Amino acid sequence: MDIIFLRNLKIDTVIGIYDWERRIKQTVILDLEMATDIKKAAKSDDIADTLDYKAIAKRVISFVEESEYKLVETLAERIAEIIVNEFKVPWVKLSLNKIGAIRGARDVGVIIERGSK
C-alpha cells in the first residue's frame, strides 16, 4: 500500500456548539493520508493514473467552507466519507485540528481512520 498525503490544509468554517461559535468562522487544520497504489502512475507519469490530490483538496475545501457542523467529530466523518466514496480511496486517515479550542492548549481535535466496505 502506498500513501498520498496532504498536511496542514487550513480551512475557515463555522464549527462549534456555543452561540458565539455559530456566528464566526474558525480555522480548522486537516492532515490526510490516503491509501492508493502508485505503481501505474509511476510507470506512466500520467495524472490520470493516480489519486489527484489537488482535486481532493479542492473538494474538501469547498465542503468544509460551506459546512456548519457543531462537532469536529461530525465534520471529520463527513470529510472521510467524501474521500472514500467520491474518490474511491480504500483507506483514509484524517486528523482534524480545531486550533485554540481549549485555553492553554495549542491543538485539539480528532484523528479517524476509515475505509471502503
Instruction: Return the pLDDT at 102.
Output: 81
User: Is 114 in contact with 81 (CB distance < 8 Å)?
Assistant: yes
Active site residue 98: yes
Domain chopping of the chain, boundaries: 2-115
**Cβ contacts of residue 41 below 8 Å, gap of 6+?**
47, 49, 50
pLDDT digits (tens, 9 = 90+) for 29-46: 999 999 999 999 999 999
CATH number for the domain running over 2-115: 3.30.1130.10
Q: SS3 for 46? A: coil
pLDDT at 64: 98
Higher pLDDT residue, 2 or 104? 2
Residue 6, strand partner residues: 32
pTM of structure = 0.94
Output the CA–CA distances (angstroms, integers) from residue 56 to 4, 16, 18, 60, 107, in the order listed.
Answer: 11, 24, 30, 6, 24
12-34 per-position pLDDT tens digit: 999 999 999 999 999 999 999 99
Active-site residue among 39, 40, 54, 98? 98
Question: What is the mean pLDDT of the segment spanning 48-53?
Answer: 94
State residue 88's pLDDT score. 95
- Determine the average pLDDT of the residues in 76-95: 97
* pLDDT at 62 (0 to 100): 98
